[in-house]
């Protein structure tokens, strides 16, 4: 059986991140520590970020979930590391637009994230891809509030 | 007789999904509906629609007759002693909540115990958690055996004289386990507790006799037994229901209304506040007629057979783990599994691309997932319209999923 459509979803970059996730683990001296789950399916992410002077110095994730959610978490941590918080939130907006099939801002180099574009064709899987980004956004907003 | 002809009554099954004929293996989530049920709903709205229990006009009477006629069908379907013992509600969740909020609040006090098991659906956990918190009561869980069954020794150990309510799923929506609920009810009664049965996965598949089971409450949903969504029923023993206070107040459920006080209607209407789910009940009645036509014993036999074949054929796939009892005779047509190294969501997506619908996730049973030490699983559930060819398609799909992920890795 051939699965041409599936190849749009499971791009090799995604499977690579799933198999060998970047930034897996937790940061000891974190400034943001957030856990989030997807209650409909049980995917879970624990995200720790170290933010100093408005810059994301380090980002690590832990958790369990499907290939899409874990690969997306890996890519997200890679993408936001070294960026200022505003840029990180901007990337999150770009990513959300990409998932919704909208035109998205590609002025920032999206790198590996672009491989996730195919997920937008699989409505049931969009939430898998956005989990890590939602966690990042929530963590940043909670820190801003405090 | 269960044969390929049955499938032809279900129009939805005759379609292609992602270029392949649909194989629907998610009936434990909700079943598909035969034309007989769809037409009953349509005809009700086309010819009989009116509000019930009021008005003198002909349509009002016709709607009332249909609604109450459906109640009698439900009564016979589970062999309740009288139709007053059948309360139409939105479904199993609402039914269990009614028992918790009405019977529970009145009878469970500080230090009392409510006993459930590790294999409950969230709908048979959270209403009791809330009740226990509110009343200062203790919620106890019966441990499962290694093979995902319940032993009566464990039940004996958990149920004490402080136990006021024992609530247990008849057929597990994850493990497929058929629990010895009748024996559990006996133990509950010996200790002065009432027995609540979550029948959501049992009523569609087995002949239910509430008198023989001697349960005090039995909750189930129409949509899992080829009926429409939004309708279900709670059976309760008349003596208990009579003592219980309604939890929803308003139209339909009242007798006399004064400025500061009111009285309630008789059973079962005192629990059915507001315009009832008339069309839903009519649809559920039609679903019962359909199932009776085939025979619940035939359906049960067919499902054991499906479980047996599925377990044999799926067991041949290397790296595939099946959860729950190994003996097909101990389970209904539900097979929950994981494929080595491939996350259940990914399995479900690959199967969907082949036109096969299975469920992936925690199946509204997070404590059970914890017990199984997995975060999620995939589940294939079978019903009367599934045949061996569906299992073959599933096995073929699973093999492709394995191959696909081995290739991309």
B338-396 pLDDT tens trace:
998 789 999 999 999 999 999 998 889 999 999 998 889 999 999 999 999 999 999 99
Question: How are strands ordered across the β-sheet holding B86-89?
Answer: B86-89, B232-236, B217-221, B194-198, B163-169, B113-117, B138-142
Residue B79 confidence (pLDDT): 98
Q: B16-66: per-residue pLDDT in tens?
A: 999 999 999 999 999 999 999 999 999 999 999 999 987 789 999 999 999
CA distance A74 to B156: 49
Cβ of B345 and A5 within 8 Å?
Answer: no
Nearest in space to B37 (alpha carbons), one of B293, B220, B206, B288: B288
- The answer to whether B277 and B283 have CB atoms below 8 angstroms apart is no
Residues B356 and B340: beta-carbon distance below 8 Å: no
Cα gap B63→B191, rounded to integer Å: 44
pLDDT value at residue B19: 94
A125–B404: do the CB atoms touch at under 8 Å? no
Can B215 be counted among the known catalytic residues?
Answer: no
Q: Which residues of B220-253 are buried (b: 16+ CB within 10 A; e: fewer)?
A: bbbbbbbbbebbbbbbbbeebbeebebebeeebb
DSSP B208-272: --HHHHT-SEEEEESTTTTS-TT-EEEEE-HHHHHHPPPSS-SSSSEEEE-SS-EEEPSTTGGG-
Partners of B400 on chain A (C-beta within 8 Å) are 1, 3
Per CB-CB distance under 8 Å, the chain A contacts of B392 are none
Closest of B83, B66, B65 to residue B74, by C-alpha: B83
Question: Can you read off the two tokens belonging to residue B120?
Answer: 């409950």
Residue from B115, B11, B84, B4 nearest B270 by CA: B84
Q: What is the pLDDT of residue A34?
A: 95
- Per-residue model confidence as pLDDT tens digits over B163-214: 999 999 999 999 999 999 999 999 999 999 999 999 999 999 999 999 999 9
Q: In chain A, which residue's Cα lies nearest the Cα of B399?
A: A1
pLDDT in the model for residue B408: 61
**A 7-26 → B contacts, CB under 8 A:** 9-10, 12, 15, 19
How far apart CA B404 and CA B339 sit, in angstroms, is 12
Indicate the average pLDDT of chain A.
91
**pLDDT of B235 higher than 90:** yes
Residue A125 contacts by C-beta under 8 Å, 6 or more apart in sequence?
Answer: A9, A66, A68, A119, B345, B349
Per the listing, tokens 């089971």 go with: B213
- Edge-to-edge strands of the sheet including B334-339? B320-322, B334-339, B377-381, B359-361
Report yes or no: B340 at the A interface, CB cutoff 8 Å: no
**Half-sphere exposure for A124 (CA within 13 Å, toward CB):** 16
Locate tokens 């067991």: which residue?
Answer: B315
**Angle CA B119–B124–B127, to nearest 5:** 140
The CB density around residue B153, as the number of other CB atoms within 10 Å, is 9
How many Å apart are CA B301 and CA B18, to the nearest integer? 32
Using pLDDT thresholds of 50, 70 and 90, give the confidence band for residue B409: low
Residue A41: band (very low, low, confident or very high) from pLDDT cuts 50, 70, 90: confident
Q: What is the ipTM of this complex?
A: 0.83
Is B361 close to A122, i.e. CB distance below 8 A? no
CA distance A86 to chain B (A): 32
Q: What is the mean pLDDT of residues A20-37?
A: 93
Structural Rg of chain A based on CA atoms? 15
Q: Map residue A33 onto helix, strand or coil.
A: strand
pLDDT digits (tens, 9 = 90+) for B257-299: 999 999 999 999 999 999 999 999 999 999 999 999 999 999 9
CB-based contact B352:B303 (threshold 8 Å): no
CA nearest to B21, candidates B401, B399, B389: B389
Q: HSE of A13 in the Cβ direction (CA atoms, 13 Å)?
A: 12
The reported pLDDT for the residue numbered A143 is: 86
């Amino acid at each position: 059986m051939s699965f041409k459509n599936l190849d749009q979803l499971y791009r090799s970059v995604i499977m690579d991140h799933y198999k060998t996730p970047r930034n897996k683990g937790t940061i000891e001296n974190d400034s943001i520590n957030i856990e989030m789950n997807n209650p409909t399916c049980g995917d879970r992410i624990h995200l720790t970020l170290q933010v100093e002077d408005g810059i994301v110095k380090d980002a690590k994730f832990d958790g369990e979930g499907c290939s899409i959610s874990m690969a997306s978490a890996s890519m997200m941590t890679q993408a936001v590391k070294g960026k200022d918080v505003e840029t990180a939130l901007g990337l999150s907006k770009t990513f959300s637009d990409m998932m919704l099939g909208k035109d998205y801002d590609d002025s920032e180099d999206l790198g590996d994230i672009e491989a996730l574009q195919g997920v937008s064709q699989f409505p049931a899987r969009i939430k898998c891809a956005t989990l890590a980004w939602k966690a990042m956004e929530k963590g940043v907003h909670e820190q801003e509030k405090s | 007789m269960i044969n390929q002809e049955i499938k032809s009554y279900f129009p939805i099954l005759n379609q292609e999904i992602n270029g392949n004929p649909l194989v629907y293996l998610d009936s434990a989530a909700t079943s598909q509906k035969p034309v007989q049920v769809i037409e009953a709903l349509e005809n009700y709205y086309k010819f009989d629609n009116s509000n019930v229990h009021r008005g003198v006009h002909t349509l009002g009477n016709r709607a009332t007759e249909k609604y109450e006629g459906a109640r009698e069908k439900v009564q016979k379907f589970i062999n309740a002693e009288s139709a007053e013992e059948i309360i139409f509600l939105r479904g199993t969740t609402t039914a269990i909540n009614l028992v918790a909020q009405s019977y529970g609040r009145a009878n469970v006090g500080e230090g009392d115990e409510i006993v459930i098991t590790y294999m409950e659906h969230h709908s048979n956990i959270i209403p009791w958690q809330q009740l226990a918190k509110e009343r200062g009561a203790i919620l106890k869980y019966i441990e499962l055996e290694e093979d995902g069954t319940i032993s009566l020794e464990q039940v004996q150990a958990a149920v004490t004289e402080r136990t006021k309510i024992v609530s247990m799923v008849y057929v597990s929506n994850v493990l497929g386990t058929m629990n010895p609920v009748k024996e559990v009810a006996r133990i509950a009664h010996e200790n002065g507790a009432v027995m609540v049965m979550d029948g959501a996965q049992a009523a569609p598949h087995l002949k239910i006799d509430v008198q023989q089971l001697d349960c005090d409450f039995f909750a189930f949903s129409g949509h899992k037994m080829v009926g429409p969504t939004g309708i279900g029923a709670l059976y309760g023993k008349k003596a208990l229901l009579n003592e219980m206070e309604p939890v929803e107040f308003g139209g339909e459920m009242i007798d006399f209304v004064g400025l500061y006080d009111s009285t309630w209607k008789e059973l079962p209407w005192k629990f059915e506040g507001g315009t009832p789910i008339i069309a839903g009940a009519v649809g559920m009645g039609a679903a019962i007629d359909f199932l009776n036509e085939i025979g619940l014993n035939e359906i049960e036999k067919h499902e054991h057979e499906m479980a047996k074949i599925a377990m044999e054929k799926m067991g041949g796939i290397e790296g595939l783990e099946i959860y729950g009892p190994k003996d097909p005779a101990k389970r209904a047509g539900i097979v929950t599994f994981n494929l080595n190294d491939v996350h259940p969501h990914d399995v479900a997506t690959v199967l969907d691309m082949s036109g096969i619908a299975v469920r992936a996730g925690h199946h509204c049973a997070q404590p059970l997932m914890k017990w199984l030490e997995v975060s999620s699983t995939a589940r294939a559930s079978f019903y009367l319209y599934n045949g061996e060819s569906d299992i073959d398609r599933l096995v073929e799909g699973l093999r492709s999923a394995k191959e696909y992920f081995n290739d991309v890795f």
